[in-house]
Every structure is written in C-alpha cells, then in structure tokens.
Structure 1
Amino acid sequence: MNKDDQDPLAETPLSTERVFDGVLLKVSRDRVRLPDGGESVREYIRHPGAVVIVAVMPDGALIFERQFRYPLNRSFLELPAGKIDAGEDILDCAKRELREETGYVADVWQHLGVMHPCIGYSDERIEVFLATGLTHVGHQWDEGEFLEILTFSPSEATAAVLDGRITDSKTVTALFLAAPHLR
C-alpha cells in the first residue's frame, strides 16, 4: 500500500479524553469511527518510548540484568533497557542506559530495529541496539534502582527463552534481531 493511500482498516478519532495523567504513563479514551461507519471506544496508554541493548562482551557473552518488576511481583531476566527522556536522541539514550545500569560503555553501536510490545493498548515503541567493544567504567544506578548483572552466552540466552526463564518481550525480540550478528 502506498503511504499516501488511506488504510481501509483505519479508525478515525472523533473525541479524546485523558483518563489518567501519570508520571510515566498517560491513559486516554477515544471515541472512534470504524471502517464500516459505526462507532466504538478505544482506551490506550501513551508511553514516551524506550531502548533495549544487546551488549556483547569481548568473549561473546551478553549482558543481562535481573530486576524485580512490581506489576507481576517477581524478578525477570532482561537485557539492559530504559525510557527515552523527552527530546532525547535514541542512541544517546541507549548509551546512557547501558552505562547507568551495567557500568559499560561501547565503542560500536548498531541500530537493529524497533518493536512495539503492546500494540493492543499502548503506543510504546522500543528501539533495539547492538553494542560491542565494551569497556567497564562503573554503573550509575538511579535512586531506587536495584539490579543484578549477569552474563549468558548467546546459546544460553536462547535456551533461557525456550525454557521460560526469559519471558520479557523486549528481550526476546532483541535477541531475535541480534541473532544474525552473534554468529
């Protein structure tokens, strides 16, 4: 479909109401016109976006974090990631998050793509980066941020996805996008 063509599945907003205006998340409720002319309601979350980094150690191991996630009341294995600040360049964000969370800086950065983790109820996008040529300089955790830093070989990471130890969608997607670069 040409970018100028109207998508026959598009829904047209008729009205918007801000339901919640939080520190991180903004929740809206829109009344929309459906493709068949009918009307419906759409509730969704506005999110500033984030980055995730596949950071490759000199020996080929990948840096992971173990972090408690309150909504699910448990810790998860994840790749380093973080929220994009207003007006922040995505590469600058990736560099900042890698340094703050893991204590590493990278000589080489490659943008691998973007993923949308919750398309049914959020506009969040997560930009995926590969970072190599790592040097440890010391982490700079945010106040109230608690992490364990671990490493896995690419094959150990794949096994952890397949056996259910890694279920975080940004991590699974980033590993998939990075796989051709890790062989």
Structure 2
Amino acid sequence: MEIKKEKKTAGKTIYEGNILRLYRDEVEFPDKHKSAREVVEHSGGVSVLAENEAGKVLLIKQYRYPVDEVIYEIPAGKLELDEDVVDCAGRELREETGYSAEKFTKLFEFFPTPGYSTETIYIYQAEDLRFVGRDLEEGEYIEVVPKSREELRELLKAGKIKDSKTLIAVIYYLGDF
C-alpha cells in the first residue's frame, strides 16, 4: 500500500509565543475524508554528547517546569532563527558546561513528537574539549554532573534518565543498541 500525503485545505494560527507557534489546519485525506491537525511549530534544537578530560560524559541537572522535575540531560538548546546547527551546539556546550570543543560530529537527528510538532533535534558529539568557563543565560540554574560509563548505565537501569535526547545519546555512547 502506498502512503499518500494529506492535503491542507485551510489553516489558522491559534497561538504565537516566544519559542513556538500553534496552528490548526484543515486537511483532506486521499480518500476525500476531512479532518483537522493541530501542530506546534518549533525551530528545533541541538544537543551535545561531550566527554571531559577525565573521560566522563557531561550531563547537566536542571528543573523542567512542564514535567515539574529536576532531570538529567546532555547540554542542549533551541536553535535561533537562521542559526547554524554547529554554532548552536558550541554555544550551548559553553554556556551550560563551560567547555568549548575543537570538533563537532553529527550523530543523529530525530523528531521527538512527530504526531503534533515540527521540532527536529540534532545530536552532535563534541571532541577535543577545553574548559573556558560557563556563561549561563539569565534564569538558567544548571548543575554540571560528569558521569562515567558505569554511572550512566546505573542511571539508565534506575530509570533516572527520562529526557529523550539524552536517552538516545547515552544508549548510543554505551553501545547498548
């Protein structure tokens, strides 16, 4: 069976904020049935898998309001309008951990919630790190928590890593796929 695209017949913006836009489109299926799609438009983000000079992966802990928890994550941030993905990776790594990297290699890109969002997340590996000092944005309260391979395995087994980009990067790093 060939999968065919839906055709947009109408649309309107419901909400436009600082980091996302919510719109509702009317669509027609290939069989002429009609439906609606509510979509969150997001500029996307970049996340960074980085190992420090001690061979530990740089995780951060921060409070995330939507889930009301302090969670483990790899350094990451939102892509700004027309920002280069590698520039964003470097900016976020430095801001959140205090490290800069000589080299960034793309590992993956994925859609975290393709059922209702346009967001794409890019995961890069940072190499040849050098500590240069953190530069947190206003309102960011982040603890850097470097973890060894064994500590990462323990966090995974205990269900302590709940962030999708971090799960993907850590499982890749550990080779548990």
Query: Fold conserved (TM > 0.5)?
Result: yes
Match of 2:62 among 62, 67, 71: 67
Please give the residue correspondences for 1:153-172 in structure 2 after superposition, counting only pairs within 5 Å: 153-172=148-167
Instruction: Answer whether contact 1:19 1:28 (CA < 8 A) is retained.
Output: yes
1:81 matched residue in structure 2: 76
Identity of aligned residues (%): 37
Give the Cα separation in 2 of the matches to 1:86 and 1:178. Answer: 30
The letter of the residue matching 1:87 is D
Match of 2:131 among 128, 132, 136: 136
1:3 matched residue in structure 2: none
- Note the C-alpha offset of 1:92: 0.4
Give the Cα separation in 1 of the matches to 2:137 and 2:99. Answer: 15
SS of residue matched to 1:165: coil
The letter of the residue matching 2:5 is A
Residues 1:111 and 2:106 are matched in the alignment: yes
- Note the C-alpha offset of 1:119: 1.0
The letter of the residue matching 2:54 is D
Change (3 A) 1:176 1:36: farther
| Pairwise CA RMSD | 1.5
Aligned length: 175
Residues 1:23 and 2:22 are matched in the alignment: no
Give the Cα separation in 2 of the matches to 1:150 and 1:111. Answer: 23
Match of 1:99 among 82, 85, 94: 94
- Note the C-alpha offset of 1:100: 0.7
Give the Cα separation in 2 of the matches to 1:154 and 1:90. Answer: 27
Q: TM-score, normalised by structure 2?
A: 0.93
**More divergent stretch after superposition (88-97 vs 153-162):** 153-162
Contiguous gaps of at least 5 residues in structure 1? 1-6
SS of residue matched to 1:157: helix
The letter of the residue matching 1:85 is E
- Note the C-alpha offset of 1:28: 0.6
SS of residue matched to 2:155: helix
SS of residue matched to 2:171: helix
Instruction: Answer whether contact 1:66 1:75 (CA < 8 A) is retained.
Output: yes
Give the Cα separation in 2 of the matches to 1:152 and 1:132. Answer: 16
SS of residue matched to 1:131: strand
Q: TM-score, normalised by structure 1?
A: 0.90
Give the Cα separation in 1 of the matches to 2:43 and 2:153. Answer: 29
**More divergent stretch after superposition (151-160 vs 139-148):** 151-160
The letter of the residue matching 2:125 is L
